[in-house]
């Protein structure tokens, strides 16, 4: 079976401007210089059909540009890309019939009309038979707990209800690939859970491919693979587990002592010390070391717990490293 997406050596840059600042602020604001910002820089990857991929990166890393190229909204300056075997911008109409797109708050609903009208509108565009449409609508209404919500005017819905209806509107034609840009941002917890569960079930049941652009760690958890961009370059492409191993090979040990906690121990880094509790950061391999066993066997240690570094901490740490690198390197590629 061919890959859902194949991209090779994609490059895209945009011409932009900035004001020249000086002592005479008013006059300086009228003077501008032009330069090119490299949005994508030699990006290559392939996505097998039926995979859930999380596309990560800081703001300005190139995620939105890449998504727009994959959906045919933009075209690259150079490089090759095929989505379901089609050229996204040359075969845009054919591709649109096979994909779904949910762009955050930019939805397919009509503010003063019920979501059901948007559903019917899309049914006719995608030429979905009425009997098939009714079965699919029942499936999504049940999975996302929409009840009669989709029959109300959109302006009377909560943000979570709007997002769920946007998702339904984009998926009623059962696309082979769904592009999701921040699908759960600002959405209440029950709606987030319902959306994640539906995405996972569609992948298992229908073999749907999902490209998920997000900053939310819980959304990343459902992905099988992570592609990370920075300044237009691909800097990571592997499983979520390998991302955790690469950047999170640490463990947290919380020790409760009989009496006041020591200010220092012979291993690890002390993160917190309060009364009789001490929190350490140690390398993963140190968990089973002799020194750790001796520490835990100490008569002064009454209790302890071991926890892994969570993904949010790993991403925060990685982004801080990228920020430090940016401060010492060039700002733009021209």
What are the b/e assignments for 34-47, b being 16+ CB within 10 Å?
eeebbbbbebebeb
Q: Average pLDDT of 276-302?
A: 79
How many domains does the chain contain in total? 2
pLDDT tens, position by position, 198-255: 999 999 999 999 999 987 777 888 899 999 898 899 988 998 778 767 655 677 788 8
Shared-domain flag, residues 255 and 219: no
Shared-domain flag, residues 225 and 259: no
Report whether pLDDT(298) > 90.
Answer: no
End residue of a domain, out of 245, 276, 293? 245
pLDDT tens, position by position, 87-141: 999 999 999 999 999 876 567 889 999 999 999 999 999 999 999 999 999 999 9
Q: Average pLDDT of 6-20?
A: 86
Shared-domain flag, residues 193 and 293: no
End residue of a domain, out of 245, 267, 293? 245
Q: Report the run of H or E that residue 139 belongs to, with start and end.
A: helix 130-143
Shared-domain flag, residues 26 and 174: yes
Which of the listed ranges 18-27, 68-77, 104-113 does the model predict with the highest average pLDDT?
Answer: 68-77
Shared-domain flag, residues 278 and 212: no
pTM (two decimals): 0.76
Q: Predicted confidence band at 270 (pLDDT cuts at 50, 70, 90)? A: confident
Helices 189-206 and 130-143 pack at an angle, to 10 degrees, of 130
pLDDT of residue 334: 26
State the CATH number of the domain containing residue 110.
3.40.50.300
End residue of a domain, out of 213, 245, 277? 245
Shared-domain flag, residues 93 and 116: yes
Shared-domain flag, residues 279 and 194: no
The answer to whether the CB of 67 falls within 8 A of the CB of 55 is: yes
Q: Report the run of H or E that residue 67 belongs to, with start and end.
A: helix 63-70
Let me know if residue 329 belongs to a domain.
Answer: no
User: Distance from CA of residue 63 to its chain's centroid?
Assistant: 9
Q: Predicted confidence band at 290 (pLDDT cuts at 50, 70, 90)? A: confident
Shared-domain flag, residues 88 and 174: yes
pLDDT of residue 319: 67
Shared-domain flag, residues 111 and 237: yes
In this structure, what are the phi and psi dihedrals at residue 110, rounded to the nearest 5 degrees?
-110, 125
Shared-domain flag, residues 304 and 224: no
pLDDT tens, position by position, 33-47: 777 889 999 999 999
State the CATH number of the domain containing residue 280.
3.30.70.250
Q: Range of 33's domain?
A: 5-245
DSSP class of residue 105 equals: T
Q: How far apart are CA 59 and CA 175, in angstroms?
A: 28
């Amino acid at each position: 079976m061919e890959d859902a997406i194949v991209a090779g050596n994609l490059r895209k840059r945009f011409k932009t401007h900035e004001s020249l600042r000086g002592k005479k602020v008013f006059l300086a604001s009228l003077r501008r210089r032009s330069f090119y910002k490299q949005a994508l820089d030699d990006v290559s990857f392939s996505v097998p059909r039926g995979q859930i991929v999380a596309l990560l990166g800081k703001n300005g890393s190139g995620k939105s540009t890449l998504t727009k190229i994959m959906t045919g909204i933009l075209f690259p300056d150079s490089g090759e890309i095929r989505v379901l075997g089609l050229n996204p911008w040359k075969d845009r109409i054919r591709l649109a019939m096979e994909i779904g797109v949910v762009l955050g708050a930019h939805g397919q609903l009509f503010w003063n009309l019920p979501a059901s009208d948007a559903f019917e509108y899309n049914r006719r565009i995608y030429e979905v038979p009425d009997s098939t449409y009714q079965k699919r609508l029942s499936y999504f209404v049940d999975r996302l707990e929409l009840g009669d919500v989709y029959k109300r005017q959109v302006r009377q819905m909560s943000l979570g209800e709007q997002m769920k209806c946007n998702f339904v509107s984009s998926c009623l034609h059962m696309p082979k690939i769904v592009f999701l840009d921040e699908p759960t941002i600002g959405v209440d917890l029950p709606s987030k859970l319902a959306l994640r569960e539906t995405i996972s079930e569609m992948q298992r049941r229908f073999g749907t491919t999902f490209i998920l652009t997000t900053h939310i760690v819980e959304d990343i958890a459902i992905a099988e693979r992570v592609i990370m961009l920075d300044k237009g370059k691909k800097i990571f492409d592997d499983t979520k587990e390998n991302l955790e191993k690469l950047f999170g090979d640490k463990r947290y040990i919380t020790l409760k002592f009989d009496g006041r906690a020591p200010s220092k121990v012979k291993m690890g880094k002390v993160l917190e010390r309060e009364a009789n509790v001490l929190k350490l950061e140690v390398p993963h391999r140190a968990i089973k070391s002799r020194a750790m066993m001796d520490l835990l066997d100490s008569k002064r240690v009454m209790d302890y717990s071991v926890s892994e570094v969570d993904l949010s901490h790993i991403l925060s740490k990685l982004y801080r490293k990228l920020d430090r690198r940016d401060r010492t390197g060039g700002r733009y590629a021209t």
